[in-house]
Amino acid sequence: MSQLDQLPDHDPEEVAEWRASLDAASDFGGPHRAAHLLRRLVEHAELRRLDVPPLLETPYVNTIPTAAEPAFPGDEAMERRITAWNRWNAAAMVTRGNQRGGLGGHMATYASAAWLYEVGFQHFFRGKETDGSGDQLYLQGHASPGIYARAFLEGRIDEAQLDRFRQEAGGGGLPSYPHPRRLPWFWEFPTVSMGLGPLSAIHQARFNRYLTARGIKDTSRSHVWAFLGDGEMDEPEATAALALASREGLDNLTFVINCNLQRLDGPVRGNGKIVQELERQFRAAGWHVVKSLWGEAWDDLLARDTTGALVRRLREVPDGQFQTYAASDAGYLRDHLFTRPGDPALRALADTLDDARLLETVATSRAGHEPRKVYAAYRAALEHRGAPTVVLVQTVKGWTLGPGFEARNANHQMKKLSGSEFRAMRDLLELPIPDSVLGEGLVPYAHPGPDSPEARYLRERRAALGGPAPARRVRFTPLPELPDRPFEALRKGSGSQEIATTMAFVRLVKELMRDGATGHRWVPIVPDEARTFGMESLFPTAGIYSPLGQTYDPVDRDQLLHYKESATGQILNEGITEAGSMASLTAAATAYATHGEAVIPFYIFYSMFGWQRTADQMWALADQLGRGFLVGATAGRTTMTGEGLQHADGHSQLIASTNPAALSYDPAFAYEIAVIVREGLRRMYGPDGEDVFYYVTVYNETRPQPPIPTGEGVTEGILRGLYRFREADRPGPDAPRIQLLASGTAVHWALAAQRLLGEEWGVAADVWSAPSWTELRREALACDAANLAGAAAGTGGTARVPYLTRVLAGAPGPVLAVSDWMRAVPDQIRPWVEQDWTSLGTDGFGLSDSRAAARRHFGVDAESVTVAALAALARRGEVKPEAVQQAAGRYDVRF
């Protein structure tokens, strides 16, 4: 029985006739003929827009026949000369760097992909001088030498810079890969952490649509191009958002996957076909697929393939074997590629070619090495509407670098050419470089001259397309300073009402989104946890962005806080994907440079699932000079009651401290959040816009929120990372003294311990709030570095004293630091604390239980802090050792 048998059929006889026709085609023409007829019918049905599932795989030939290729609009001979110069200089740059300093570099990737880039730069990639946005180019990191070589030919980079490839210390060098932070006028997008490029490109294309829909900027002319490797597609992130791209109809997006069939160490699919696998994957996800595989030399062979024998053979040969064919002699090709038992027509095809023609066809004739084929594929991608396009283009890795490189497994690790290899390359590329400069010494760079026809052609083409590319420009209007009103509620406190700092943050942002001048520029980003973080109140007012709007009646439509999707919605509800959320944050956080429009993204998430899961993207965010707020909600290892080990975060603040661009804060009170956010807005979006982003951890534990203290230096202390929140209550002259430092929710444990110590043990404890252990450490390190530099230079002068040391100077007694983080977080500041130091933290795995039980388990609750404080004082002889034992027994504390 068929699945279709359960459905009514008003004319079963007609179905039987079609079946009989197919049987006859198979019986008389063979199964391959019958399959060909079916493919033709499905193709015709798609053209008629009939509702039939598309084929997931097509024959292993080009999507666009040579006869259907559009006319090539450029001067092909000129562009071949330009590409030859670029190939030469890319290889020379890497070879010279390796000869002089052993710094390496990659040659084979650009060699295979040169035409993929050149056709784009000459005819497709729009620069920023038209609308301030242009196209967004996600370029393969390993191809960077070729991109630098092209910039050299354009006059954007000189020989001295080429010679400082991978030599950045001291300034003036070129970074190894696309690193905007290292070369901010040139690179826009970091892509060499493979897999992040395709994910980021999809969300960039989607964010472009978001900007247009919300009226912030018309980006309808911007196109996102992502250049990827076939091996890179193994990364889970590379294909994680394919469905999003098709679901939202992102026809402003093109993936170009260079299918040279090789990873870094060997074949991508030695026993399979990576092109066919990727075609199935992308078609199943709803993408438009353009395969550009074979060069023009294959046309005659395919035209003679009247039995389909060659097409079947190409489909069945695994990639690992075809890689061998590309590096084999004609005899091997005739005996292996063109010999198949029971199929004499295959060998007959090969016999129509002489050895030279056969070698040219099989070894080097790939669509990716022919500008007309590449142009046709790109044009088809741009003209397609309603879905994103992937261009699967086949090349030979290391092409034009000589037989020692081409299609070799080791070519990714091969870093230089010899003099004889450069001579062979020169002859192949037909460059006017004399033998006299091609010895075994440093190979020279080559340039036709700034006024040469090649240089003029380059400038003319880029001028026609809107200026240089890649290029990063920062031309945005700083946001106006916000009024005090949105921050006042948090600064005043909540009185007797208990609210969590998570809710305090959300309330603040909700108020800021109402600001007439900047409110529409906030971009709230959530991974399907808005209700967890108390953000459902934003649904009906701000709306959830969807290009389709809302085509259904939500089940909660009669409720005040109903679910609302909108084509102009402000919230990006990404679904259950932290990686996708980070990619959206990155697109928003860099819009000030990409599009010249400052928007203010805040991404709120379970803190455990941020830095631990997507720290690589956060590092890329720093590289891309992103600005915005990361909000780690339900923070700490003991505040997530009942959730357990994989939800209990005690280390994200430590991981965040490793990112130099991340300003990490762990506020205890709502007013601290107000101060931090306001300062963040000033630093990132004011006239001096800094290339930093904020990580703020907030808690789901409700507490009364006090007003901001009136003492001097509180605001400075919040931003620097430490201030005294509450002094001991009238300590006696002989009372033992101790300083309790705490952050986040742990400040409340310290305050409770302060009371216990004073009332039950006669100890005077001052409580300090430490909103940022990391910022304290960074400022102290900067002081140490300045002092060392002064000493080394012999300039002397007054030594810089860290803020931390100064603010604690003279504070009596030892210091005890406590937090809901592992001890390494507060221990960051230990070297600059002159007092005796003790720390408590939540080291180890989290567990499921009540907050009280979890805190007692980790030894960080108020009673544990009290015992630890007495122990610190006992070591100094300021309380009797028996007091420690008595307190431990009284409170049932066991460390």
User: What is the mean predicted confidence (pLDDT) over 610-614?
Assistant: 95
User: What is the mean predicted confidence (pLDDT) over 652-656?
Assistant: 98
Output the CA–CA distances (angstroms, integers) from residue 351 to 308, 314, 338, in the order listed. Answer: 16, 17, 9
Q: How many CA atoms lie within 13 A of 141 on its CB side?
A: 19
pLDDT cut 90: percent of the chain above it: 81
Distance CA 231, CA 236 (A): 12
The answer to whether 345 and 309 are in contact (CB under 8 A) is yes
Residue 128 in this model has a pLDDT that exceeds 90: yes
Check residue 163 and give its pLDDT.
Answer: 94
Output the CA–CA distances (angstroms, integers) from residue 195 to 238, 255, 579, 737, in the order listed. Answer: 4, 13, 11, 55
pLDDT tens, residue by residue, 784-833 = 999 999 999 888 778 899 999 999 999 999 999 999 999 999 999 999 99
Distance CA 195, CA 392 (A): 17
Residue 414 in this model has a pLDDT that exceeds 70: no
User: What is the token pair recorded at 19?
Assistant: 């079946």
pLDDT tens, residue by residue, 560-594 = 788 999 999 999 999 999 999 999 999 999 999 99
pLDDT tens, residue by residue, 294-335 = 999 999 899 999 888 999 999 999 999 998 998 899 999 999
Instruction: Provide the 3-class DSSP secondary structure of residue 82.
Output: helix
φ and ψ at 822, to 5 degrees?
A: -60, 155
> 366 - beta bridge partners?
294
Check residue 624 and give its pLDDT.
Answer: 98
The answer to whether 674 and 487 are in contact (CB under 8 A) is yes
Distance CA 728, CA 1 (A): 83
Write the CB contacts of 428 (distance below 8 Å, at least 6 apart in sequence).
400
Distance CA 714, CA 758 (A): 24
The answer to whether 207 and 196 are in contact (CB under 8 A) is no
Instruction: Provide the 3-class DSSP secondary structure of residue 545.
Output: strand
Write the CB contacts of 378 (distance below 8 Å, at least 6 apart in sequence).
119, 120, 123, 124, 254, 256, 391
Closest-CA residue to 318 (of 360, 264, 275, 365): 275
Q: Where are the alpha helices (DSSP H) in 388-495?
A: 419-429, 453-464, 485-492
The answer to whether 828 and 657 are in contact (CB under 8 A) is yes
Check residue 306 and give its pLDDT.
Answer: 87
The answer to whether 504 and 705 are in contact (CB under 8 A) is yes
3-state DSSP of 726-769: ECCCCCCCCCCEEEEEECCCHHHHHHHHHHHHHHHHCCEEEEEE
> Mind giving me the DSSP string for 4-38?
GGGS--S-HHHHHHHHHHHHHHHHHH-HHHHHHHH
Amino acid occupying residue 407: A
Unique residue bearing structure tokens 């939540």: 842
Residue 636: DSSP 8-state = S
The answer to whether 818 and 841 are in contact (CB under 8 A) is yes
Q: Is the peptide bond before 318 cis (omega within 30 degrees of 0)?
A: no
Check residue 76 and give its pLDDT.
Answer: 97
pLDDT tens, residue by residue, 706-758 = 999 998 899 999 999 999 999 998 878 889 999 999 999 999 999 999 999 99
Check residue 745 and give its pLDDT.
Answer: 97
User: What is the mean predicted confidence (pLDDT) over 389-409?
Assistant: 82
Instruction: Provide the 3-class DSSP secondary structure of residue 43.
Output: helix
Check residue 410 and give its pLDDT.
Answer: 52
Give the helix/strand (H/E) hosting 383: helix 371-383
Grade residue 171 by pLDDT with cuts at 50, 70 and 90.
confident
Average pLDDT, the chain: 94
Check residue 528 and give its pLDDT.
Answer: 85
Q: Where are the alpha helices (DSSP H) in 499-610?
A: 501-512, 539-542, 578-589, 591-594
The answer to whether 139 and 227 are in contact (CB under 8 A) is yes
Helix axes 76-101 and 108-123, enclosed angle (nearest 10): 140
Backbone angle region of 158, left / alpha / beta, with phi > 0 → left and psi within -120 to 50 → alpha = beta
User: What is the mean predicted confidence (pLDDT) over 506-511?
Assistant: 95
Write the CB contacts of 247 (distance below 8 Å, at least 6 apart in sequence).
286
Amino acid occupying residue 395: T
User: What is the token pair recorded at 651?
Assistant: 């280390």
The answer to whether 608 and 649 are in contact (CB under 8 A) is yes
Check residue 43 and give its pLDDT.
Answer: 84
Check residue 73 and give its pLDDT.
Answer: 96
pLDDT tens, residue by residue, 452-499 = 999 999 999 999 999 999 999 999 999 999 999 999 999 999 999 999
Is the model more confident about 410 or about 689? 689
> Mind giving me the DSSP string for 49-66?
T-S-PPPS---SS-SS-G
Rg of the chain, C-alpha, whole Å: 33
Grade residue 154 by pLDDT with cuts at 50, 70 and 90.
very high
Distance CA 594, CA 662 (A): 20
